[in-house]
A and B are shown apart, each in its own frame.
Chain A
Amino acid sequence: MKENREFNMLENADDKTLDLLSEVPVLTKEEKERMLAMSKKKLDRMNRESNIKTNNDEYQVSGVERYKKPKWQALASIAACLLLVGSIGGTMFALKQNKPIVENDNSLSNVTTDVTTTIPPSTWDIETTCDKEAASLLGQYRFIQELAGGNPDGMELDENDTKSVENYDGSLVTYYRVADIFSSVGELKRHLESMMTGQLLNDYTALLTCYLGEAERFKDIDGKLYYKPGSDYSTEYNDYTDYKIENYDAGTNSFDIVIINEHPMAKETEVFHVVLENSLWKLESYRIESETSDMDASTFERTDALQLLSSLELVDNLMAGGIYTSVNQDDSIEYQSPDGSYTVKYNNFVSGGLVDLNNLTEMVKNTVTEPALSETYSYIYEDEKNDLPMFKEVDGKLYMRDNGRGKSFNFQGNPEIIKKSDKSYEIITDNEVTKGKVKVTAVYEDGKWKVSNYEFLDDENSNVTDSESVTASLNDDVYEGLYYDKNDSNNSLSIDRRNDKLYSVHITHKKTDTVSEEWAFTGEFNGRGVLNYEKCCKNTITIGEDGSVMSVTDYLDGTGYLRISEPGDETGIIWIDDKDNAGAGDFFIKQ
């Protein structure tokens, strides 16, 4: 094997020789990174296995108290699940469904759980106890999160023991037998109950063991536990290695685990609330907060796209009657249309994540921009003509129209992202419902990425189908955009659409390298392509030698107008400024 066998004498060397050998640089940066990454991955698995073993051991310990969970809780949080899954970014494809929820025998109605009654720790030390519990819970959570997303890493599957189960559409789903860790759905649920409670427990129990329009992840078949791996699960999770313990409350025995994810131009904070229940520390709730600045507009990442698609899928789903959602048909209210010609039934909406109309409206408005909103989705919460929107709030409870339940979107695959400008991107992705592609336009508005438009494409050449186009291209605005002055390259004009009719206009004249004049005003274009304005603000901007910027307001009461002009073959905008005729000679052409 070795060319020079004399070097074999260095094998089984003493410590001194080993020291000398270790001083010879031999490992490349890539090799080191690879080994470190492997070590951390193995550590994660060791932590998970250790935690699961510990929890299972605890279950076998002592006095037992049995309880039953009410059945409705299993379904009470599907929308919340989706919000949760969507918010984590990258796990949006964990659930794919095409038909209404069917309750199955694996619902929580029959769950009984053994709960330990060991004595809680009498003394506390935040530095050690909380830290230790947090590390353990986060490790378990990540494992469960990945399982829910379809990633079986860390759990051994027997590839020689598979079962084919018919899915809702007649297709066959392959399940693999779980060879370690859990032996039944009941055991899995007991594990979940040992580390989660409240909403989070409901969410993950549903995600892992309930039929959500598609075959469940875990299933008992012939007395054995089987798992359905996902084909497109994400591995792009935030790192949970670094966290802080905050808000420790000795009175309620609770604390928060705070994980701050610093991205180049954004900050994301994930918060888990942990409570002591039956002497076990459990994750009770999860929330994520993002702090973004205007600068973030230029960084639209894959996770932003996945999150936005997930949110759009949810909003559209609500609009389409709500496949994901659950209603209580025993609690219904009927309304008549204004002309009395028909009656509309509303059922109590029991999907836990959306609790009232404000909550719902906020979620929709955070996903879709105003033009697309009023065109398509505002009907979810308002119907000015008939007052029969998709949702109504009555006596503090949310009711949903009893509609046909359908959906337009079931996004699949890896989306293609195309940058259109700093504040606008196009996402092209596969849509299982139409068996084609959808182009979603994302724009940056109010500090968030939102959907301004979507189009169904008939093929990969991205042509829009006339028959299937649901929304017109709302942003295809003839005025909006950047313009340059054909006669003077130092001048520029930008027009941004503020709402249906109103535009904001910004004109710059660069006088020297350090001095420029700027005019800003708003107005509406009339039918003849003229925008009259008043209250124009003019500023003179001076850049100092030290890089400082000084802005002096010259006036706030400018008047004038912009007008579309078509001399010869060219179309452009001319600017008439009443105040000091600054627009004389300007002819702005759209870029």
Chain B
Amino acid sequence: MTGIEYCALYKKSKDRAYDTLFESYCDYVYAIVYNKLRSIASREDIEECVSDIFSDIFFSYDTTSNFAGDMKGYVGTVAKRRAINTFRKLTANSGHFSEDAEDELINIGADTDIEQDSDLAETRSILISKINELGEPDSTIIIQKYYYDRSSSEIADMLSMKASAVRMRAARALNKLKTTLAAAGITM
């Protein structure tokens, strides 16, 4: 969705503009927030953060702008900033981090060890490619189950399958993934 499209829609109907923007980017924003908070936040906290991001965007996006590009960049920036703030808040509350540890917090998204960072990026890339090699619907099932931590019945509802079939496919796909990753030198 481009900025101009959003502004045009906003002039006709604010509500439609909000709905369309949300529908266009909710998966993207959720992915960003979940990626940042999955280890420390509940699903409710994550939903709260996503809704904060969209209210921020609805409130602050300049509806008179003539930006012809995709709003994804803007949305992504707002989402990442808000997700980091939420991470900071949650970890501060749980005592994992001190509010004063600014330097540490600023670098949350990036490891300072360049070599390790490079290794991690490479491993991550292999993992993604091996998941993709599983093909559909197994790759989706694997991501939903083991990354997004969804239950088999939730996945079944979304993919119009039976929960037992999801469980079976997930187990088989995970074994297959382990095998292919092992062949690539990665152990799960």
Contacts and interface: CB of A to CB of B under 8 A. Distances in A.
A, B: real partners: yes
Interface of A: 1-4, 6-15, 17-28, 31-32, 34-36, 38-40, 42-43, 46-47, 50, 127-128, 131, 135, 239, 241-242
B188 interface: yes
A340 to B, nearest CB: 66
Contacts of B188: 4, 6
B104 interface: no
B127 A6 contact: yes
Contact of A26 (B110, B150, B186): B150
A143 to B, nearest CB: 15
B32 A26 contact: no
Given A13-B124, A35-B47, A6 B186 contact: yes
A241 B14 CA distance: 6
Given A22-B28, A36-B22, A39-B22, 19 more contacts: A6-B186, A7-B127, A7-B147, A10-B147, A11-B39, A14-B121, A18-B32, A21-B143, A22-B27, A25-B27, A26-B27, A26-B144, A28-B154, A35-B47, A38-B51, A39-B52, A40-B58, A239-B15, A242-B13
Given A24-B144, A39-B54, A42-B52, A18 B35 contact: yes
Given A4-B188, A10-B35, A21-B31, A40 B55 contact: yes
A57 to B, nearest CB: 18
Contacts of A8: 39
A237 to B, nearest CB: 14
B140 interface: yes
Contacts of B127: 6-7, 9-10
A428 B109 CA distance: 61
Q: Give the 3 A-B residue pairs with the shortest CB-CB distance, closest first.
A: A38-B51, A22-B31, A42-B55
A131 B150 CA distance: 44
Contact of B54 (A9, A35, A131): A35
A4 B36 contact: no
Contact of A24 (B23, B64, B148): B148
Interface string B58-81: 110000100000000000100000
A23 B32 CA distance: 12
B123 A9 contact: yes
Interface of B: 11, 13-15, 18-19, 22-23, 26-28, 30-32, 34-36, 38-39, 47-48, 50-52, 54-55, 58-59, 64, 76, 108-110, 120-121, 123-125, 127-128, 132, 139-140, 143-144, 146-150, 154, 157-158, 174, 181, 186, 188
Contacts of A242: 13-15
Contacts of B123: 9
Given A35-B51, A35-B54, A128-B64, A21 B186 contact: no
A289 to B, nearest CB: 21
B35 A12 contact: yes
A32 B52 CA distance: 13
Most buried by B among A6, A28, A47, A128: A6
A35 B146 contact: no
Contact of B18 (A1, A21, A38, A40): A40
B124 A42 contact: no
A36 B39 CA distance: 24
A1 B147 CA distance: 11
A42 B53 CA distance: 10
B31 A18 contact: yes
A241 B35 contact: no
A239 B15 CA distance: 9
Most buried by B among A23, A26, A27, A128: A26
B47 A31 contact: yes
A7 B146 contact: yes
A8 B146 CA distance: 9
A27 B150 CA distance: 10
Given A20-B128, A27-B27, A27-B30, A32 B15 contact: no
Contacts of A11: 35-36, 38-39
Nearest to B59: A46
A14 B76 CA distance: 12
Given A4-B146, A24-B144, A25-B140, A39 B35 contact: no
B35 A36 contact: no
